Amino acid sequence: MLHINTAHTWRGGEQQTLWLCRGLQQRGHRVLLACPPASPLMDRARQAGLFVCPVKMRGEWDLPAAWALAGIIARERIELVHFHTAHAHTLGMLAAQRAGVPLRFLTRRVDFHIHGHLLNRWKYGPALKAILAISEGIRRVLLEDGLDPERVITVPSGIDLEQLRTVGDPAPRRHELGIPPKAPVIGMVAALAPHKDHRTFLRAAAKVKKALPDVRFLIVGEGRLEAELKDLSGSLGLSREVIFTGFREDVLELIKLFDVFVLSSYLEGMGTSLLDAMGLGKPIVATRTGGIPEVVREGENGLLVPAREPEMLAEAIVRLGRDDQLRHRMGARGKEVVKNFSVRRTIERTEEVYSRFL
């Protein structure tokens, strides 16, 4: 099988791609991964012992890239192709069609609606065997867009639960970032992209600061909105309280530092950072959108609020920030809920989908 991921960055989707490929290989499949040369995914996949095919992919209509992929499919006698990004979807469909491979699968990680133009009717039509939606929320959107229910199958993302047991002491990170020993830490881990809605998080932070004067806010991630968000933080009087960490390799240690984990997205497929936080025993405040309610159960392991409502987001954060017992109870419950979202289960369910269409 050939898996295709066109991302040049390292985010949740790339981690999921790597775990899936590694897990399928361990289960006896011959797995090849096509990804951009010198990308984080290529480096990590090689370290994991995967067979990697570096391919320069400059966009979804990069025909030389599509023909290069078709050459790999023919040369390596590929029987199944799996796409993991939007651009991989188009390039992979072109390559699989040129090489005559009918087993084509797509993992869908976003809950955006599909426009009904001619190209999408081909990309999402019968030529694509199945779409693996990472949440019921995404599946619901695809069904609303008219896709065949038999071909849209929910396969939730998962995390490495064993890895969470080895996360180190976060105290050095607190010292490194200059966070006072007693200061409560409210954190968010997400790419600095519009749909993650850091603007709402920052506006909520300004309100939380009034109730929790010693609070610190960590924004972990990188993206094109960084300069704009830093300007907004300054204009809200949060220059001292908000810390932008950029891209970090030690994300799990930083999450372990949090008292409350927040996700303020107005569009969200699922949010695997939520799973990491739950696995580390952190209570959640998140928006009631996309696949989030499938992970965060209101009143059990977190609090849900409407998207784009900074006042309500702030109220939920303050409620948890002031109540130690509630935080601990929700954090403990989160550890139980997250057991249903193991990467092993994701791998097994993906294999079941393949088998259904073989």
**Per-position DSSP letters for 149-184, written without gaps between them:** GGGEEE----B-HHHHTT---SHHHHHHTT--TT--
Q: Is the dihedral of CA 92, 96, 98, 102 positive or negative?
A: negative
pLDDT for residue 229:
98
- Are the beta carbons of 306 and 312 closer than 8 angstroms? yes
Residues 66 and 117 in one domain: yes
Global confidence as pTM: 0.90
CATH assignment at residue 166: 3.40.50.2000
Residues 165 and 313 in one domain: yes
Residues 216 and 127 in one domain: no
pLDDT for residue 241:
97
Task: Tell me what the pLDDT averaged over the chain comes to.
Answer: 95
pLDDT digits (tens, 9 = 90+) for 73-99: 999 999 999 999 999 999 999 999 999
pLDDT for residue 292:
94
> What mean pLDDT do residues 325-346 have?
95
Residues 220 and 76 in one domain: no
Residue 334, domain extent: 161-340
Residues 134 and 232 in one domain: no
Residues 205 and 232 in one domain: yes
pLDDT digits (tens, 9 = 90+) for 195-228: 999 999 999 999 999 999 999 999 999 999 999 9
Distance CA 323, CA 356 (A): 48
Distance CA 42, CA 50 (A): 9
> What mean pLDDT do residues 162-177 have?
92
Residues 8 and 102 in one domain: yes
Residues 266 and 346 in one domain: no
**Per-position DSSP letters for 40-101, written without gaps between them:** HHHHHHHHTT-EEEE----STT-HHHHHHHHHHHHHTT---EEE-SHHHHHHHHHHHHHHT-
Residues 283 and 346 in one domain: no
Residues 146 and 238 in one domain: no
pLDDT digits (tens, 9 = 90+) for 276-314: 999 999 999 999 998 999 999 999 999 999 999 999 999
Residues 259 and 225 in one domain: yes
pLDDT for residue 254:
97
Residues 145 and 201 in one domain: no
Distance CA 17, CA 7 (A): 11
Domains: count for the chain: 2
Q: Give the residue, 112 or 200, on which the prediction is more confident.
A: 200
